[in-house]
């Protein structure tokens, strides 16, 4: 099973990327591909710009990467209660090629933040709109107080209860993607 994992963030030190990478390791016998949104540099989307230049190749590359996966793991960073500008822009461009950006793939949606809220607002938005964009969300987990429950040096969750939640979510993704 090929898992495509990424953070909906363009931060070089994204805690959501660390979480997505770790969660992917919980999927047994998975081939894991990690995407970095910084590899998909795009101008700010507008209909006028799309008319002028067409769809940039980076949007097509993003859709192609999703197309090669059996399942998707996305960890959503939250900026001011919503998606990061980098993710939203990439998503907007990609959706102009195919509104079903996630192409019917089973998905595990995650979110985390340094504070206790765990980026739950953006996770709720993502879950609420998933069906419109071709994501078959099998599990969703929000993790608050990231630095208290995750060791960045080892790249692992240190809290047993959170590890159990993530393991259960990864198992749900596996069962659904293989079925």
Q: Which of 24-28, 51-55, 170-174 is predicted least confidently?
A: 170-174
Separation between Cα atoms, residue 67 and residue 172, nearest integer Å = 20
Question: Angle at CA 77, nearest 5°, toward 73 and 80?
Answer: 150
Helix (H) or strand (E) holding 127, with range, is helix 120-129
List residues bridging with 74 in a β-sheet: 6, 109
Residue 179 confidence (pLDDT): 45
Burial string for 58-85 (b: 16+ CB within 10 Å, else e) reads ebeebbebbeebbbbbbbbbbeeeebbe
Q: For residue 72, give the nearest of 100, 44, 92 by alpha carbon.
A: 100
CB neighbour list of residue 82: distance below 8 Å, 6 or more residues apart: 88, 121, 122, 125
Tens of pLDDT, residues 31-64 = 999 999 999 999 999 999 999 999 999 999 999 9
Whether the predicted pLDDT of 178 surpasses 60:
no
Region 84-97 average pLDDT: 97
Neighbours of 160 (CB within 10 A): 9
CATH tag for 2-178 (out of 3.40.50.360, 3.40.50.2000, 3.50.50.60, 3.65.10.10):
3.40.50.360
Separation between Cα atoms, residue 128 and residue 177, nearest integer Å = 21
Residue 176 confidence (pLDDT): 52
Q: For residue 37, give the nearest of 14, 19, 10 by alpha carbon.
A: 10
Tens of pLDDT, residues 111-159 = 999 999 999 999 999 999 999 999 999 999 999 999 999 999 999 999 9
* Percent of the residues in the chain that have a pLDDT greater than 70, as a whole number: 98
Whether the predicted pLDDT of 175 surpasses 90:
no
């Amino acid at each position: 099973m090929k898992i495509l994992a990424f953070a909906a963030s363009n931060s070089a030190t994204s805690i959501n990327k660390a979480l997505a990478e770790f969660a992917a390791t919980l999927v047994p016998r998975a081939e894991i591909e990690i995407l970095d949104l910084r590899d998909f540099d795009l101008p700010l989307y507008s209909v006028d710009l799309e008319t002028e230049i067409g769809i940039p190749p980076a949007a097509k590359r993003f859709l192609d990467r999703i197309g090669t996966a059996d399942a998707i793991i996305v960890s959503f960073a939250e900026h001011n209660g919503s998606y990061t500008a980098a993710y939203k822009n990439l998503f907007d461009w990609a959706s102009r090629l195919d509104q079903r950006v996630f192409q019917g793939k089973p998905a595990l949606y995650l979110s985390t933040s340094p504070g206790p809220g765990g980026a739950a607002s953006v996770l709720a938005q993502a879950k609420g709109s998933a069906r419109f964009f071709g994501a078959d969300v099998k599990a969703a987990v929000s993790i608050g107080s990231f630095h208290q429950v995750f060791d960045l040096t080892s790249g692992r969750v240190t809290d047993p209860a959170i590890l159990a939640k993530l393991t259960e979510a990864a198992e749900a993704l596996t069962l659904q993607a293989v079925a």
